[in-house]
Amino acid sequence: MSKTKVIVGMGSCGIAAGANKTYSVLENIKVADSLDVDLSKTSCVGMCYKEPLVEIIDESGYYMYGGIDEKKAKEIIESHVVNKNPVKEYIVKSDKFETENDSYFNGQVKIALRNAGYMDPESITEAEERDAYDAIKKIGSEGIDGNTVIQTILDSGIRGRGGGGFPTGLKWKFAAREESKDKYIICNADEGDPGAFMDRSLLEGDPHAILEGMLIGAYAMGSNQGVIYCRAEYPLAIERLNIAIDQAREKGYLGKNASGIKGFDFDIYVKEGAGAFVCGEETALIASVEGERGMPRRRPPFPAVSGLWKKPTNINNVETLANIPYIVLNGADSYNKYGTEESKGTKVFALTGKIKNGGLVEVPMGISLRKIIFDLGGGIQDDKKFKAVQLGGPSGGCIPEELLDTSVDYDSVNSTGAIMGSGGMVVMDESTCMVDLAKFFLNFTQQESCGKCTFCRMGTKRMLEILTRITEGKGEHGDIEKLEELSGQIKDNSLCGLGQTAPNPVLTTLKYFRHEYEAHIYDKKCPAKVCEALLTYEIIADACTGCTLCARKCPVDAISGAKKEIHFIDQDLCIQCGACDDACNFDSILVY
């Protein structure tokens, strides 16, 4: 009988939740009690809302434990490993029985995430046991030429998962037809939106899939050098990438006659970036790799013709490359059987915001937003009312409740005014102010603007000023029309995708939640009770006990009333700080 396996999720999300302490406890117990178990580490399995996660695989089956702190770690070792009695109340997934978390896994199809969380990402041996590098071996052993590889990618229907949605095979074809002694393939691992969490998890959990995807692309296009452009804020991802690259070199997958293919010389290095959102744009990324400031360049020429060091260059994002080995190994039909006519395969989303089951999900294209949010995501925190979902990162758009049955594919999402982006999905409930939300995202994109073109640099600044005024109760007649006019100018005249998509949060909130803008401007009220300057605080006489706590907390002495008598708020003095509402223990403050 094989040893019992104890595996701890050690992705960034797990470590942030305390997985390091959990692992240390398990390691100490193993040593102190001389337990005959295999203790190892893995990465994020996507179930971030239950971190730290501990998996146990023994003769009786598979068990995943969630929320395992140091105390619970000791308990499951004693009960499960030693006494063969699984602690059912902590189990979030098992092949022996159903759990309340099964809905999170049901409906998922894992292709890009097929190995993440199921192997030690720092072990090339474990990666090979899960088919790593079998696709590039297949190409070499069967003598498949580059054009055939590209045709397979075209037939699969995969489109770029970084946000643009351009057909990946066509992109490869453009680079392949260029005649040049030097060609480059770049992995863009510097996405700056919530979808970046997905990229980071793939890099941390299955770095060999990214390397193999680059190997296949390089072979197909005739490239001899690969660059992984990764933001320096991802130290664990960078560490594991460099470990994987060293292992791949040692095994002969990288280097001269890479992967045993004669005449195919290819290597990869990691370039650490500063994490600028604008470097999600291809030409800005290339400028940063070359040591210049990350600013977009005019196109044409496109990178496929003149990119890094003015040589033909292909850029794919992390998720796109993670799918490539699966497609080549299993055939185009194994991939394009999922999805819709124009959007094939699967898509990874980072579920965040007011959602019960926050984390990573990989779903077939064509699934509805409703199913993702309410079946996989478990619905809204505290069972509040769903209001909107922001799709596509800071430059994405907000989709309202009436469009929850929208199919998640490129065309359907675009028709709502949102964009697919790299996979960020921020869920909002009734307590979210859509004007304040638009201001939040526009503030981000305005700060991230490289400043090269006037429409993006100044246009977003003027829009942000208007939104700030509105949320401060200083909105004016005509502000909505100014926002719409500026949005159109910025979208039509900005040089790169950052400026062209920056107005999306404003445009979609105006489209679906215009009444909230009007309430802010004309009624001087915030329907969601978020914008402090637009709130009114009153004391409910029947509920007031005269405890004086609110009066003592008021910073401007706007509250009067003797002890054990009803108190009152002087509206002329009140600064809408909310201190009285926070202090009251009797729900006697009315906010409207």
57 lies in a domain? Answer: yes
302 has a pLDDT exceeding 90: yes
H/E run at residue 359: strand 359-364
Measured CA to CA in angstroms, residue 167 lies from 160, 441, 462 at distances of 6, 28, 36
Are residues 274 and 134 part of one domain?
yes
Distance CA 423, CA 275 (A): 17
C-beta separation of 317 from 199 below 8 A? yes
Measured CA to CA in angstroms, residue 3 lies from 6, 38, 56 at distances of 9, 6, 11
Are residues 174 and 302 part of one domain?
yes
Distance CA 183, CA 367 (A): 38
Are residues 170 and 283 part of one domain?
yes
Q: Kindly state the greatest CA–CA separation across the chain.
A: 91
Least Cα distance to 405 among 431, 439, 375, 432 occurs for 375
User: Could you tell me the two tokens for 538?
Assistant: 């009153």
Per-residue confidence (pLDDT) for residue 193, from 0 to 100:
53
Q: Give the mean pLDDT of 24-48.
A: 92
H/E run at residue 204: helix 196-205
Last residue of a domain, one of 429, 463, 498: 429
315 has a pLDDT exceeding 80: yes
DSSP state letters, 76-97: HIIIIIIT----GGGEEEESSS
Name the band, by pLDDT with cuts 50, 70 and 90, for residue 398.
Answer: very high
374 lies in a domain? Answer: yes
191 has a pLDDT exceeding 80: no
Distance CA 238, CA 231 (A): 8
Distance CA 198, CA 318 (A): 9
User: Could you tell me the two tokens for 444?
Assistant: 């981000």
H/E run at residue 6: strand 4-9
Position 62: which residue type?
Answer: Y
Last residue of a domain, one of 289, 307, 335: 335
Q: Give the mean pLDDT of 48-73.
A: 95
Measured CA to CA in angstroms, residue 298 lies from 131, 172, 192 at distances of 41, 21, 22
531 lies in a domain? Answer: no
Distance CA 87, CA 113 (A): 28
Measured CA to CA in angstroms, residue 463 lies from 167, 387, 468 at distances of 34, 24, 9
95 lies in a domain? Answer: yes
Tell how far CA 425 is from the center of its chain: 7
530 lies in a domain? Answer: no
Per-residue confidence (pLDDT) for residue 494, from 0 to 100:
92
Least Cα distance to 390 among 356, 424, 357, 364 occurs for 424
Are residues 209 and 63 part of one domain?
no
Per-residue confidence (pLDDT) for residue 573, from 0 to 100:
95
CATH number for the domain harbouring residue 515:
1.20.1440.230
CATH number for the domain harbouring residue 145:
3.40.50.11540
Are residues 39 and 8 part of one domain?
yes
CATH number for the domain harbouring residue 578:
3.30.70.20
250 lies in a domain? Answer: yes
Are residues 219 and 302 part of one domain?
yes
DSSP state letters, 205-237: H-HHHHHHHHHHHHHHHT--EEEEEEETT-HHH
H/E run at residue 288: helix 282-289
* 386 vs 201 pLDDT, higher one: 386
CB 357: neighbour CB atoms within 10 A? 21
User: Could you tell me the two tokens for 57?
Assistant: 């695989």
Per-residue confidence (pLDDT) for residue 194, from 0 to 100:
47
Strands (E), 442-525: none
H/E run at residue 269: strand 267-273
Least Cα distance to 396 among 437, 447, 359, 343 occurs for 437
Label residue 405 exposed, middle or buried (CB < 10 Å: 0-12, 13-18, 19+): exposed
Per-residue confidence (pLDDT) for residue 1, from 0 to 100:
46
416 lies in a domain? Answer: yes
Are residues 388 and 283 part of one domain?
no
Write the pLDDT tens digit of every residue in 320-339: 999 999 999 999 999 999 99
User: Could you tell me the two tokens for 525?
Assistant: 């009220």
Structure pTM? 0.92
Last residue of a domain, one of 394, 429, 464: 429
H/E run at residue 591: strand 589-591
User: Could you tell me the two tokens for 230?
Assistant: 């990764």
Name the band, by pLDDT with cuts 50, 70 and 90, for residue 109.
Answer: very high
Structural domain including 231 reads 124-335
Number of domains in the chain: 5
Least Cα distance to 70 among 11, 112, 22 occurs for 22
Are residues 543 and 470 part of one domain?
no
Write the pLDDT tens digit of every residue in 408-418: 999 999 999 99
18 has a pLDDT exceeding 90: yes
User: Could you tell me the two tokens for 6?
Assistant: 């104890």
Strand partners, 230: 189, 272
Are residues 518 and 474 part of one domain?
yes
Are residues 422 and 273 part of one domain?
no
Per-residue confidence (pLDDT) for residue 279, from 0 to 100:
86
What is the torsion angle, in degrees rounded to the nearest 10, for the CA atoms of residue 119, residue 124, residue 127 and residue 132? 160
Are residues 147 and 24 part of one domain?
no
C-beta separation of 281 from 153 below 8 A? no
Name the band, by pLDDT with cuts 50, 70 and 90, for residue 233.
Answer: confident
144 has a pLDDT exceeding 50: yes
119 lies in a domain? Answer: no
CA atoms within 13 A on the CB side of 51: 26
Q: Nearest 5°: phi and psi at 355? A: -120, 145
Are residues 213 and 276 part of one domain?
yes
Per-residue confidence (pLDDT) for residue 582, from 0 to 100:
93
What percent of the chain has pLDDT above 90? 87
Least Cα distance to 470 among 505, 433, 502 occurs for 433
Q: Give the mean pLDDT of 86-99.
A: 94
Please give the mean pLDDT across all residues of the chain: 94
Label residue 402 exposed, middle or buried (CB < 10 Å: 0-12, 13-18, 19+): exposed
